[in-house]
Structure 1
Amino acid sequence: MSDKQQLDFAGREIDVHFDGRLCIHIGECGYAKGDLFVGGREPWCDPDAATTAEVREIVERCPSGALTYQDKSGVPETAPAENVAMVASNGPLYLTGDLDIQGAAEDMPGVRFRAALCRCGASQNKPFCDNSHVEAGFVDAGAVGDRGAGLTATGGSLKVELRPDGPMVLSGNLSIRAGSGRLAWQGEKAFLCRCGASNNKPFCDGMHKKIGFKG
């Protein structure tokens, strides 16, 4: 199966859409209990093999936004109550929330609420992760040293701005969890490293200028 495929799986009560441009094969779908996703079966996704509630819950596990659904009862996916950035060990930045990501195509509905963003600098699909961190040998366990200014509210729109050849700027109520899962940082604006070279990951320290990062 080509990673560039976009596939639709129709069901009686709910449809599932797969966007291979975003998939990084985490496996939350394939490892889910039940018969909604079965590797080697044709089709490998059968929305009628699970209840509508199960389809919604399993699809929403997808951390990259590659999977979305269309509930025929008209119930849409909604933003989580809190905007969270999870710094994956040796991997991407997993964002969940009410996301407004610069550079996201209109036909990428999944990244409205869930996205895996590159932090190694090597992705060929910036700002999204494409697993290039593996070949690049990117190493960062996801420790977070700063605590941030704190929050008086959670949720609301989180704008993700990509500075040319520079950091990712997240504006809005935000909580950052370290690779260990610890709630580490809270604030309303964060400048995060996109080049992979910062000595203060996940935050930018200006190293993108020294290494000539482009992206």
Structure 2
Amino acid sequence: MSDSNDDAAKTPEIEPVENGPLRVKGELNLVGADAEGKNVMFLCRCGNSKNKPFCDGSHKKTGFSSERGKPAGRDRLVPFEGEEIVVYFNPMLCAHAAECNRIAAHVFDAKKRPWIEPDKGTREEIEAVIAGCPSGALTMAAKGEDPTHLVPDGPRVTVEKNGPYWVADVELKSPKQGEGMSERKYVLCRCGRSGNKPFCDGTHRDIGWVAE
């Protein structure tokens, strides 16, 4: 029988340190960086570390503030109804990864209005998009049912090139922000400029942030 303290130590979690990095504890897969053998690590979220994705203390020199500003999008669930399926979108949660357009551009096209047309795709295509949305901004439901998230197998943190951290199945020690937010998948800011810290709001893309 395993020791409960050992099990607790292995359970992955992320804790945003006030005006500092992301403290990551437990066993998880860090995709995009070498973290072999590390059960505790500190990931940079000020955007200035010379040892990205790991913290090197630059947040102290630059005066990084983890205070939440003004999110890029409004906090509301917007329904897009099809004959059988309703897709919901929360603009505040969106990290602008554009996975929806990559997976099913004929259904999700930000250049059109409405930009989501569920009846143009199959249920399987829409499920693939909902599962692929890293921030949980997109959910789906059959008509008359509550919206649900589809979450990839975890636990893992993916370090996106010149972008944020995509997180799956890691407990976040921070209050939920956003209607319909998933506790099992979310995207955390890495550039230090998000208006929705600790979450990404796509600012890295707008300012052309580069990790190198």
Structure 2 contact 94–202 (Cα < 8 Å) conserved:
no
The match for 2:138 is 67
- Tell me the TM-score normalised to structure 1 length: 0.54
Q: Take 1:47 and 1:96, find their aligned partners in 2: how far apart are those partners?
A: 25
1:123 match: secondary structure: coil
The match for 1:16 is 87
2:132 match: secondary structure: coil
Q: Take 1:135 and 1:11, find their aligned partners in 2: how far apart are those partners?
A: 32
The match for 2:124 is 53
Q: Judging by fraction of residues, say which structure has more strand.
A: 1
Structure 1 residues 1-215: aligned runs within 5 Å: 3-4=73-74, 6=76, 7-33=78-104, 35-72=106-143, 76-97=148-169, 99-100=171-172, 102-105=174-177, 107-109=179-181, 111-133=182-204, 138-140=209-211
The match for 1:150 is none
Show CA shifts across 1:99-140 (max 9, x none): 45522136233x333211012332221110123345677543
Moved over 6 A (4+): none
Cα distance, 1:27–1:125 mapped onto 2, change above 3 Å: same
Q: Take 1:17 and 1:58, find their aligned partners in 2: how far apart are those partners?
A: 12
Q: Percent identity?
A: 33
Q: Take 1:106 and 1:68, find their aligned partners in 2: how far apart are those partners?
A: 13
Letter in 1 for 2:162: N
Structure 1 contact 8–18 (Cα < 8 Å) conserved:
yes
Structure 2 contact 134–166 (Cα < 8 Å) conserved:
yes
The match for 1:201 is none
Q: Judging by fraction of residues, say which structure has more helix.
A: 2
Cα distance, 1:27–1:137 mapped onto 2, change above 3 Å: closer
Q: Which runs of 5+ in 2 are unaligned?
A: 1-71
The structure showing larger relative contact order (alpha-carbon pairs under 8 Å, at least 6 residues apart) is 2
- Tell me the TM-score normalised to structure 2 length: 0.54
Shift of 1:50: 1.3
